Structure 1
Amino acid sequence: MKFRNIFLLNLLLFSVSILAQSTTYRAEKEKKHNLIHTKLSVDFNFDDKTMNGEAWITAKPHFYATNKIALDANAMLIHEVSLNNKILSYNYNEYVLEIELPKTYTKKEEFTIYIKYTARPEKVKDEGSKAITDAKGLYFINADGKDATKPIQIWTQGETQANSAWFPTIDAPNQKMTQELFITVPNKYITLSNGTLVNQTTKGNNRTDYWKQDKKHAPYLAFMGIGEFAVIKDNYKNIPVNYYVEKEYASYAKDIFGLTPEMIGFFSEKLGVDYPWDKYSQIVVRDYVSGAMENTTAVVHGEQAYQKPGQLIDNNLQENTIAHEIFHHWFGNLVTSESWSNLTLNESFANYGEYLWRAHKYGKTDAEMHYYEQVEAYKNGQNQDKSLVRFSYDEREELFDLVSYNKGGAILHMLRTYLGDDAFFQGLKTYLETYKYDTAEVHQLRLIFEEITGQDLNWFFNQWYFGANHPNIEISYDYNTLRKTVTVNISQLQSETFKFPFAIDIFEGTKRTRHTVFVESNDASFTFPYNRQPNLIQVNADNILVCNLYENKILSEYIFQLKNADNFAHRREALFQVASKQDDKNAFNAIVDALDDDAYKIRILALQQIDLINKFSKKDAIRKIMRMANNDDKTLVQAEALSTLGKLTDPELKPIFEKALQSKSYSVLGKALVSMYYIDQPLAIQKSKELPDEVRKILATPLTRIFIEAKDESELPFVAKSVVSGMFLANDDATKVLYQKAFDQIAVSNNSEAIQNLVDDMVVKGKQYTGFNFDKVMINLMRKMIDQQKKESKSNYLRNIEIIKTAMSKLL
Structure 2
Amino acid sequence: MTNIKTLSSFVFTGLIAGLSISAVHAQAPAKADDPLLKIYRETPPKINDLVHTKLDVRFDYKKRYLYGKEWVTLKPHFYPTDTLRLDAKGMDLKNISVVKNGKNTPLKFTYDSLTVAIKLDKVYHNDESYTLYIDYTAKPNELHVKGSAAINDAKGLYFINPDSTEKGKPVQIWTQGETESSSAWFPTIDKPEQKTTDEISMTVPAKYVTLSNGRLASQKINGDGTRTDTWKQELPHSPYLFMMAVGDFKIYHDKWRDKEVNYYLEPAYAPYAKQIFGMTPELIEFYSKTLGVDFPWYKYSQIVVRDYVSGAMENTSATLHGEYVQETPRELLDANYDNGRSTIAHELFHQWFGDLVTCESWSNLTVNESFADFSEMLWAEHKYGKDEADAHSYNAMFNYLNSPDAAKKDLVRFHYDDKEDVFDVVTYQKGGRILNMLRNYLGDAAFFKGLNIYLKTNAYKNGEAQQLRLALEEASGLDLNWYFNQWYYGAGHPVLGISYKWDDASKTETVYLQQKQDGQTFKLPMAIDIYAGGKKERHKVWMNDKADTLTFTVASKPDLVNVDGDKVLLTAKTDDKNLDEFAFQYFNAPLYLDRFEAINAAAGHQSEKVAQKVMIAALKDPYYGLRIKAIRALNMTNDDIHNAALPVLASLAQTDDNTLVRAAAISVLGKLKASGNLDIFKQAVTSQSYAIQGAALTAINLLEPTQALTLAKGFESDNKGALTIAIVNVYATSGGSDQWNYVFNAFKNAQPQAQFNMIRGFAAMAGRVDKPDYAQQGIGAIKDFGVKFKQFGIAPTIEGLLNDIKTARTKLNDTASAQAADDAVKAIEAAK
Is the structural similarity TM-score above 0.5?
yes
Gaps of 5+ in 1: none
Q: Match for residue 339 of structure 1?
A: 361
8 Å contact from structure 1 (residues 748, 792) kept in 2: no
Q: Match for residue 388 of structure 1?
A: 411
8 Å contact from structure 2 (residues 150, 310) kept in 1: yes
1:400-549 equivalence runs, <5 A: 400-494=423-517, 495-508=519-532, 510-549=534-573
Q: Match for residue 97 of structure 2?
A: 82
Question: 1:562 deviation in Å?
Answer: 2.4
Question: 1:707 deviation in Å?
Answer: 1.7
Matched, 1:217 2:237: yes
Question: 1:713 deviation in Å?
Answer: 3.6
- Residue in structure 1 matching 2:166, options 133, 147, 151: 147
Distance 1:770 1:616, change over 3 A: closer
Q: For 1:29, what is the secondary structure of its paired residue?
A: coil
Q: Match for residue 114 of structure 1?
A: 133
Q: Structure 1 length normalisation: TM-score? A: 0.93
Question: 1:698 deviation in Å?
Answer: 6.0
After superposition, what is the alpha-carbon deviation per residue over 1:249-295, rounded to whole angstroms, capped at 9, x for unaligned? 11112111111111011000110100000111111111110000000
CA distance in 2 between partners of 1:596 and 1:786 (Å): 42
Matched, 1:245 2:265: yes
CA distance in 2 between partners of 1:644 and 1:744 (Å): 23
- Residue in structure 1 matching 2:183, options 164, 167, 190: 164
CA distance in 2 between partners of 1:539 and 1:778 (Å): 39
Report which stretch shifted further, 367-376 or 308-317: 308-317
Q: Match for residue 668 of structure 2?
A: 644
Q: For 1:616, what is the secondary structure of its paired residue?
A: helix
Question: 1:579 deviation in Å?
Answer: 1.5
Matched to 2:687, the amino acid is S
8 Å contact from structure 2 (residues 809, 815) kept in 1: no
Matched, 1:607 2:662: no
8 Å contact from structure 2 (residues 772, 814) kept in 1: no
Matched, 1:126 2:145: yes
1:739-778 equivalence runs, <5 A: 739-746=759-766, 749-751=769-771, 754=774, 758=778
Report which stretch shifted further, 754-763 or 57-66: 754-763
Distance 1:761 1:197, change over 3 A: farther
Q: Match for residue 630 of structure 1?
A: 654
Q: For 2:200, what is the secondary structure of its paired residue?
A: strand
Report which stretch shifted further, 512-521 or 49-58: 512-521
Q: Structure 2 length normalisation: TM-score? A: 0.91
8 Å contact from structure 1 (residues 477, 487) kept in 2: yes
CA distance in 2 between partners of 1:315 and 1:551 (Å): 34
Question: 1:469 deviation in Å?
Answer: 0.5
Report which stretch shifted further, 391-400 or 541-550: 541-550
Q: Match for residue 325 of structure 1?
A: 347
Q: Match for residue 365 of structure 1?
A: 387
Matched to 1:270, the amino acid is T
Q: Match for residue 31 of structure 2?
A: 19
8 Å contact from structure 1 (residues 752, 799) kept in 2: no
CA distance in 2 between partners of 1:799 and 1:368 (Å): 49
Distance 1:400 1:496, change over 3 A: same
Matched, 1:579 2:599: no
Q: For 1:633, what is the secondary structure of its paired residue?
A: coil
8 Å contact from structure 1 (residues 499, 521) kept in 2: yes
Aligned residues: 802
Report which stretch shifted further, 562-571 or 240-249: 562-571
After superposition, what is the alpha-carbon deviation per residue over 1:353-408, rounded to whole angstroms, capped at 9, x for unaligned? 11110010011111111111111111111212111000000100110001100110
1:677-756 equivalence runs, <5 A: 677-695=701-719, 699-723=723-747, 729=753, 739-746=759-766, 749-751=769-771, 754=774
Matched to 1:687, the amino acid is L
8 Å contact from structure 2 (residues 632, 664) kept in 1: yes
After superposition, what is the alpha-carbon deviation per residue over 1:219-267, rounded to whole angstroms, capped at 9, x for unaligned? 0000001111111111111111111111111111211111111101100
CA distance in 1 between partners of 2:584 and 2:10 (Å): 39
Matched to 2:62, the amino acid is D
8 Å contact from structure 1 (residues 543, 569) kept in 2: yes
- Residue in structure 1 matching 2:310, options 290, 293, 307: 290
8 Å contact from structure 2 (residues 49, 75) kept in 1: yes
Distance 1:628 1:776, change over 3 A: closer
Q: Match for residue 93 of structure 1?
A: 112
CA distance in 1 between partners of 2:818 and 2:253 (Å): 51
Indicate the RMSD between aligned Cα atoms, in angstroms. Answer: 3.1
Matched to 2:368, the amino acid is N
CA distance in 2 between partners of 1:536 and 1:363 (Å): 25
After superposition, what is the alpha-carbon deviation per residue over 1:418-441, rounded to whole angstroms, capped at 9, x for unaligned? 111111111000110000000011
Amino-acid identity (%): 41
Distance 1:757 1:479, change over 3 A: same
Matched to 1:70, the amino acid is R
Distance 1:26 1:787, change over 3 A: same
Q: Match for residue 207 of structure 1?
A: 227
Q: Match for residue 260 of structure 1?
A: 280
Q: Match for residue 76 of structure 2?
A: 61
CA distance in 2 between partners of 1:507 and 1:14 (Å): 41
8 Å contact from structure 2 (residues 615, 630) kept in 1: yes
Question: 1:716 deviation in Å?
Answer: 2.4
CA distance in 2 between partners of 1:426 and 1:712 (Å): 64
Report which stretch shifted further, 692-701 or 386-395: 692-701
Question: 1:682 deviation in Å?
Answer: 2.5
Distance 1:91 1:748, change over 3 A: farther
Matched to 1:498, the amino acid is F
Question: 1:617 deviation in Å?
Answer: 6.4
8 Å contact from structure 1 (residues 39, 56) kept in 2: yes
- Residue in structure 2 matching 1:50, options 54, 65, 87: 65
Question: 1:107 deviation in Å?
Answer: 0.4
Q: Match for residue 293 of structure 2?
A: 273
Q: Match for residue 28 of structure 1?
A: 43
CA distance in 2 between partners of 1:592 and 1:369 (Å): 20
Distance 1:646 1:748, change over 3 A: closer
CA distance in 2 between partners of 1:269 and 1:552 (Å): 42
Q: For 2:177, what is the secondary structure of its paired residue?
A: coil
Q: Match for residue 672 of structure 1?
A: 696
Question: 1:675 deviation in Å?
Answer: 1.1
Matched to 2:454, the amino acid is Y
After superposition, what is the alpha-carbon deviation per residue over 1:462-493, rounded to whole angstroms, capped at 9, x for unaligned? 00000011111111223221232212121111
Question: 1:741 deviation in Å?
Answer: 4.7
Q: Match for residue 553 of structure 1?
A: 577
Q: For 2:510, what is the secondary structure of its paired residue?
A: strand
After superposition, what is the alpha-carbon deviation per residue over 1:57-112, rounded to whole angstroms, capped at 9, x for unaligned? 10000011111111000000011111121111111110111111111100011111
